[in-house]
A = this chain, B = another copy of it.
Amino acid sequence: MNSPEIEHLIHLLSRLPGLGPRSARRAALTLLKKKEALLEPLAKAMSDAAAAIRTCPNCGNLDTQSPCAICTDGRRDAGLMCVVADVADLWALERSGAYRGLYHVLGGTLSALDGIGPDDLNLPGLIERVSNSGVREVILALGATVAGQATAHYLAERLERPDLQISGLAHGVPVGGELDYLDDGTLSAALSARRPV
């Protein structure tokens, strides 16, 4: 019933994560009603981003410069490399502000169910970077899921070298978390990894 332009816009918006067909319709209507304030700036921001953003050939991060700002930042510790599954994880770690080393984005985790094997991930780049540059520690910051942990085990075997430390994120009670609501697995992991106060 709507004009093809509107229906096409709704269809594309509904492909964004977090927007279904109904909320895409609502978003499209908001955009059309706020043409000067929102629709036109957003269209411009999208074409600007599409033109400017590239994938860093080193680490797989998304940035306007290539290599990305993290890879070219001399103040970062080039001896630390944090392996993440996705750019979203890299962003999450950067938001925490707790890490000042380099990253490597795998582009996924090993998953036999989804047919994702070692060849589908950015593994050759990781192995080359770890062997050719002065990396002394690889931090496997992969999710505490079956796929994440399988990938971590695989990487730990592939990267094993006497002078290279390989570590993973700690499991335990989330900050602000109540013991009562925690699952048994997290609780026993937190208990076995207990530390002196």
Binding site for B on A (CB under 8 A): 1-3, 5-6, 8-9, 12-13, 15-19, 23, 25-33, 35, 38-50, 52-53, 62-65, 69, 87-88, 91, 94-95
The answer to whether B5 and A45 touch across the interface, beta carbons within 8 angstroms, is: yes
The answer to whether A95 and B6 touch across the interface, beta carbons within 8 angstroms, is: no
Contacts of A29 in B (CB 8 A): 62, 87-88, 91
Complex A-B, nearest 10 residue pairs according to Cβ-Cβ distance, in ascending order: A43-B46, A18-B23, A3-B64, A43-B47, A16-B27, A12-B42, A9-B45, A1-B94, A39-B50, A5-B49
CA separation between A116 and B39, bound complex, in Å?
A: 25
The answer to whether B88 and A8 touch across the interface, beta carbons within 8 angstroms, is: no
CA separation between A28 and B88, bound complex, in Å?
A: 10
The answer to whether A18 and B27 touch across the interface, beta carbons within 8 angstroms, is: yes
The answer to whether B46 and A1 touch across the interface, beta carbons within 8 angstroms, is: no
20 pairs, CB–CB < 8 Å, chain A vs chain B: A1-B91, A3-B64, A3-B65, A3-B69, A5-B45, A5-B49, A6-B64, A12-B45, A13-B42, A18-B18, A18-B23, A26-B88, A31-B46, A33-B62, A33-B87, A35-B50, A40-B47, A40-B50, A43-B50, A44-B47
CA separation between A172 and B44, bound complex, in Å?
A: 46
The answer to whether A5 and B64 touch across the interface, beta carbons within 8 angstroms, is: yes
The answer to whether A12 and B25 touch across the interface, beta carbons within 8 angstroms, is: no
The answer to whether A30 and B2 touch across the interface, beta carbons within 8 angstroms, is: no
| Minimum CB distance partner of A30 in chain B | B17
Contacts of A33 in B (CB 8 A): 62, 87
The answer to whether A42 and B46 touch across the interface, beta carbons within 8 angstroms, is: yes
The answer to whether B3 and A91 touch across the interface, beta carbons within 8 angstroms, is: no
Contacts of A8 in B (CB 8 A): 45, 48
Q: How far is the CB of A96 from chain B (nearest CB, A)?
A: 11
Interface centre among A3, A9, A50, A91 (most CB of B within 10 A): A50
CA separation between A41 and B44, bound complex, in Å?
A: 12
